[in-house]
Amino acid sequence: MKQQWKPGTMIYPLPAALVSCGADEQEYNLLTVAWTGTICSEPPMCYVSIRRERHSYDIIRRHMAFVINLTTEALARAADWCGVRSGRQFSKFSEMNLTPVMARCVEAPIVEESPVNIECRVREILSLGSHDMFIADVVHVQADERYLDPETGRFDLAASGLLVYAHGNYYTLGREIGKFGWSVEGQATAVRKTTDKQ
């Protein structure tokens, strides 16, 4: 039997992402968001949803740019701390000993310690209620070479120990159980063999 609950946010897990913003060192800031994701493949687009009272809200709105920095187990404390402290009172990069490096294509810093930095240019802002959604074009991506397989060149992001958020708690990813398309692998061969016998 299932309980019947009122509507709520139940889509988990989600990335525990550090979003960085600011055009110069005096206004650089970080906030932690779980309300983020991909919304289009071609062109590549994503979003972050931010409460209007957050310090980063006005910075992102002013420059119409931000960077989504994926986090790892090593960045877990920074991700949590940046989610509960305000940039109005703290210099978050300094407090968490993180390295800001100006992004290649947008007016915002990347977090050097992050395995992937997704540079975003805001296309549209939707006012939705508790949060405003910043819909953005992905204009550049930086990836840590430490997670490139030297033989295949494949980027193994899972090896970085990615951090996710689920209903108030942080987790690292579990064991791999398959890859995209594994459920139908071999079926094409089986179909060909069956057809050949007919």
56 vs 88: CA distance, rounded Å: 9
Place of tokens 């062109």: 43
What confidence tens digit (pLDDT) does each residue in 15-58 have?
Answer: 999 999 999 999 999 999 999 999 999 999 999 999 999 999 99
- Distance separating alpha carbons of residues 132 and 198, to the nearest angstrom: 59
Q: Count Cβ neighbours within 10 Å for each residue of 115-130 and write b for 16 or more, e otherwise.
A: bbbbbbbbeebeeeee
CATH class of 14-197: mainly beta
Burial-class residue 100 by CB neighbours within 10 Å (0-12, 13-18, 19+): buried
Distance, in Å, from the CA atom of 184 to the CA atom of 122, rounded to the nearest integer, reads 38
pTM, 2 dp: 0.91
Q: Supply the DSSP symbol for 158.
A: G
The per-residue pLDDT for range 92-146, each reduced to its tens digit, is: 999 999 999 999 999 999 999 999 999 999 999 999 999 999 999 999 999 999 9
pLDDT at 178: 87
Kindly report the backbone phi and psi dihedral angles of residue 158, in degrees, each rounded to the nearest multiple of 5, phi listed first: -60, -30
Strand stretches in 105-188, DSSP E: 109-111, 116-127, 132-143, 163-166, 169-172
Q: What is the pLDDT of residue 104?
A: 97
